[in-house]
Chain A
């Protein structure tokens, strides 16, 4: 119970920190919209084709956006010494990781997920399924951010290498993408929507237990090195 109270307190303070710069949330949003707009331009204006590939495109767009959000998680805190204080103070580091994870997801990723059905409409995807798509994308991106938090904690001397981060993190996104995208594409036809949803929900719970522990271990090592 004490853990939960501390978590709530920490989440509120991280949320307030994010709200000091509200227009930062536009950055990933613009990136996501622009990258999705690229696809009709390159694939040509063929509604049938676009409608067919739209779920995959949206998932790839969300994945890339989440990937670009990852450095925001711990980078500034490592540079200005906040993280060092956290480790030195002996408070439970997983609290910090979960607070960062939840607030960054709500602040940066949730707008993308909400905008995704509109972009899907631009790609001739059926709008009637948008609630289900938001659910799937929301669960999937939450899990992605958690896995990414583990990968982005591997930093040497406060620098992080985006290419190494890609190799560390993207392989673990495979099950999320497989089940998430199959869930979205089967929305339009008959299929395995429930499979995808249940699998993603299970994965989120699993990562909720695994990622904070792994990320805080990695962060301790990173702080000790820098």
Chain B
């Protein structure tokens, strides 16, 4: 076994994972805050107002990153589901629960900001447009996965069942993505598709900054949740006791 494999398999051991998450957390947190500040400044002050929509278009800088993230989190969950289902990685199951909660949250943010944006521009809070509907369906699928974790007492079985449901639900992701092209009703087609974009650069770079900031905040949340989960699951293991003892002693010394 070479070093790379050893390194990647160590992510599956609670003790090593805890160590790494602890080391990762301040870096992710600092980067997330920096990107949020810079992205927020460029998005809400530097970017020019839209010639049609005026200032209200700035909600895009929250709406689009949340919507991207809501789909990306699901994509990542499919990967985790494969880890749970095929290789039976326990920690992937823990991560899946966190991902499902956070994914539901970001989907809700995308829906709510979309509604607030729709009110002045389309003149209505909600339209039964294909894209909005499939985002709503995505929210319900997330909630279904959350409920599986919530209802079943056996965490291992719950993770496997949630993995199966995620794999079955992954059919929904392409439908969301291509629904714009299939039905094409009221929602504008996506402004960024691959490298071609209809947005001007001065409006585009704040969006990319904000998307990166949202991603970092998400990673920060995952690191935090996962660390708490490892502590909860490992409360009776020797490595944690040793760690706490050393922490206590250093506290007494200092």
Binding site for B on A (CB under 8 A): 150, 154, 156, 161, 164, 167-168, 170-172, 174-175, 206, 210, 214, 217-218, 221-222, 224-225
Q: Is the interface of A mostly helix, strand, loop or mixed?
A: helix
Q: Are A167 and B154 in contact (CB under 8 A)?
A: no
Complex CA gap A85/B179 in Å reads 44
Q: Are A225 and B152 in contact (CB under 8 A)?
A: yes
Q: Are B137 and A171 in contact (CB under 8 A)?
A: yes
B151, B171, B172: residue with the most chain A Cβ atoms closer than 10 Å: B151
- Which size bracket describes the interface of B in this complex? 20 to 34
Once A154-B161, A171-B141 are accepted as A-B contacts, the answer to whether A164 and B147 lie under 8 Å apart by CB is yes
For the complex of A and B, 3 pairs with smallest distance between CB atoms: A171-B140, A168-B144, A167-B144
Complex CA gap A54/B175 in Å reads 27
Q: Are B168 and A210 in contact (CB under 8 A)?
A: yes
Complex CA gap A168/B165 in Å reads 8
Q: Are B144 and A171 in contact (CB under 8 A)?
A: yes
B164 at the interface (CB under 8 A from A): yes
Q: Are B175 and A164 in contact (CB under 8 A)?
A: no
Q: Are B148 and A217 in contact (CB under 8 A)?
A: no
Q: Are B160 and A172 in contact (CB under 8 A)?
A: no
30 pairs from A and B in contact (CB 8 Å cutoff): A150-B165, A154-B148, A154-B151, A154-B152, A154-B165, A156-B151, A156-B152, A161-B151, A164-B147, A164-B148, A167-B144, A168-B148, A168-B165, A171-B137, A171-B140, A171-B141, A171-B144, A171-B169, A171-B172, A174-B137, A206-B171, A210-B168, A210-B171, A214-B167, A218-B161, A218-B164, A221-B157, A221-B160, A221-B161, A225-B154
Chain B, range 119-157, C-beta contacts under 8 Å to A: 133-134, 137, 140-141, 143-144, 147-148, 151-154, 157
A150, A167, A171, A174: residue with the most chain B Cβ atoms closer than 10 Å: A171
Complex CA gap A214/B160 in Å reads 11
Closest residue to A159 on the B side, CB-wise?
B151
- Min C-beta distance of A92 to chain B, whole Å: 17
Complex CA gap A135/B154 in Å reads 42
Closest residue to A160 on the B side, CB-wise?
B151
In-complex Cβ contact of A168 among B134, B147, B157, B167 (8 A): B147
Complex CA gap A135/B207 in Å reads 48
Complex CA gap A167/B152 in Å reads 15
B148, B168, B169: residue with the most chain A Cβ atoms closer than 10 Å: B168
- Min C-beta distance of A125 to chain B, whole Å: 22
Q: Are B140 and A214 in contact (CB under 8 A)?
A: no
Complex CA gap A171/B133 in Å reads 10
In-complex Cβ contact of A170 among B140, B148, B167 (8 A): B140
Complex CA gap A170/B168 in Å reads 13
B148 contact set on A, CB distance < 8 A: 154, 164, 168
Q: Are B147 and A167 in contact (CB under 8 A)?
A: yes
B141 contact set on A, CB distance < 8 A: 171-172
Once A172-B169, A174-B137 are accepted as A-B contacts, the answer to whether A167 and B160 lie under 8 Å apart by CB is no
In the complex, given contacts A168-B165, A171-B137, A206-B171, what are 16 additional A-B residue pairs having Cβ atoms less than 8 angstroms apart? A150-B165, A156-B153, A164-B151, A167-B143, A168-B147, A168-B148, A171-B172, A172-B141, A172-B169, A172-B172, A174-B133, A214-B164, A214-B167, A217-B160, A225-B152, A225-B154
Closest residue to B148 on the A side, CB-wise?
A154
- Min C-beta distance of A157 to chain B, whole Å: 8
Q: Are A150 and B140 in contact (CB under 8 A)?
A: no
- Min C-beta distance of A86 to chain B, whole Å: 18
Complex CA gap A168/B141 in Å reads 7
Complex CA gap A45/B151 in Å reads 44
Complex CA gap A97/B160 in Å reads 19
Complex CA gap A150/B171 in Å reads 15
B172 contact set on A, CB distance < 8 A: 171-172
A210 contact set on B, CB distance < 8 A: 168, 171
Complex CA gap A57/B144 in Å reads 25
In-complex Cβ contact of B164 among A174, A217, A225 (8 A): A217
Complex CA gap A174/B139 in Å reads 13
Complex CA gap A156/B167 in Å reads 21
Complex CA gap A175/B134 in Å reads 10
A161 contact set on B, CB distance < 8 A: 151
